[in-house]
């Protein structure tokens, strides 16, 4: 590899569950680009995943933290600064969960206790992460804070359920907190709206396989892979993107700007002629 974009940078990566996770691939690429970082996830997720293997691969440490728990987050940021030897340059929030989706509860019949929990984990946790870093003054100037989102925040995908509402809230937090971070520390805050991706979380959505094929046919460049998304995150952590903030950045092969594609039309025309 030529120039290392993150040489000397320090950060925290939330949400690396297994080898399919975008956060896992971000960690691998961040390591290749010279960054040092802490890996973190909720204790229950750490038991499910193989994060210790990733830590070994990347020379990182794992600090368990529930991203909805302020005490856990304060401990995480304090330990991260101590172990990494200074303030942070980047944070990745790659966290999302809907109990209603997992249990097949229809959007018109939501369990509101489940909805509140999913909203806290998927969206409010992003505010909690940033508020903790803000109060502890944990970010270096020109740092970068990123979260992963999906276009269901703007357009209706019926089976995405209450996760669509969570993502809308997540993106709003990025804009609102991004202003304050920019004014005080020149830190930028952005979200990446990724193509449907075969991660553990994404695959839990009903009809996911059909939709991933549809999105691929709709996108001029095809779906963006998890590896490609990781590369985009690395560019957003680097000094090459210092003036990009408060943006929702589409990384979807063009899907978000296409009304209909020839490939999709051809399929409908074929169905009509049969």
- Say whether 192 counts as a known binding-site residue: no
Task: List the catalytic residue out of 150, 214, 232, 250.
Answer: 150
Known catalytic residue: 160?
A: yes
Overall size of the chain counted in residues: 274
For the record, the structure tokens of 83 come out as 């172990």
Compute the radius of gyration of the chain from its Cα atoms: 19
- Say whether 25 counts as a known binding-site residue: no
Known catalytic residue: 150?
A: yes
The region that residue 82 occupies, defined by phi over 0 for left and psi between -120 and 50 for alpha, beta otherwise, is: alpha
For the record, the structure tokens of 145 come out as 């804070």
- Say whether 15 counts as a known binding-site residue: yes
CA 66 to chain centre: 16
- Say whether 22 counts as a known binding-site residue: yes
The region that residue 186 occupies, defined by phi over 0 for left and psi between -120 and 50 for alpha, beta otherwise, is: left
Task: List the catalytic residue out of 107, 112, 160, 232.
Answer: 160
- Say whether 60 counts as a known binding-site residue: no
CA distance 232 to 62: 24
Please check whether residue 87 is in contact with residue 140, taking contact to mean a CB–CB distance below 8 angstroms. yes
CA distance 82 to 269: 62
Please check whether residue 145 is in contact with residue 89, taking contact to mean a CB–CB distance below 8 angstroms. no
Per DSSP, what are the bridge partners of residue 93? 14, 147
- Which residue numbers belong to the known binding site? 15, 21-22, 95, 167
The residues that are catalytic are 150, 160
- Which residue numbers belong to the known binding site for NAD(+)? 15, 21-22, 95, 167
């Amino acid at each position: 590899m030529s120039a290392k974009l993150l040489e000397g940078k320090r950060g925290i990566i939330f949400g690396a569950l297994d080898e399919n996770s975008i956060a896992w691939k971000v960690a691998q690429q961040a390591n290749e680009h010279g960054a040092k970082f802490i890996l973190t996830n909720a204790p229950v997720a750490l038991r499910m995943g193989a994060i210790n293997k990733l830590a070994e691969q990347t020379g990182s440490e794992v600090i368990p933290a529930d991203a909805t728990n302020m005490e856990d987050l304060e401990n995480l940021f304090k330990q991260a600064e101590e172990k990494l030897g200074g303030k942070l340059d980047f944070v990745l929030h790659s966290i999302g969960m809907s109990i209603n989706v997992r249990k097949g509860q229809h959007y018109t019949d939501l369990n509101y206790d489940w909805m509140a929990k999913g909203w806290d984990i998927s969206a409010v946790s992003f505010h909690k992460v940033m508020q903790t870093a803000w109060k502890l003054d944990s970010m270096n100037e020109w740092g970068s804070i990123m979260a992963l989102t999906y276009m269901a925040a703007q357009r209706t995908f019926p089976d995405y359920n209450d996760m669509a509402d969570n993502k809308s809230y997540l993106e709003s937090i990025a804009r609102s907190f991004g202003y304050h971070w920019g004014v005080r520390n020149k830190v930028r805050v952005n979200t990446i709206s990724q193509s449907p991706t075969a991660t553990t979380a994404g695959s839990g959505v009903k009809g996911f396989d059909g939709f991933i094929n549809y999105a691929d046919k709709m996108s001029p460049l095809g779906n963006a892979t998890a590896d490609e998304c990781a590369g985009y995150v690395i560019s957003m952590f680097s000094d090459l993107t210092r003036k990009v903030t408060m943006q929702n950045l589409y990384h979807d092969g063009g899907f978000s700007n296409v009304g209909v594609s020839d490939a999709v039309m051809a399929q409908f025309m074929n169905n009509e002629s049969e």
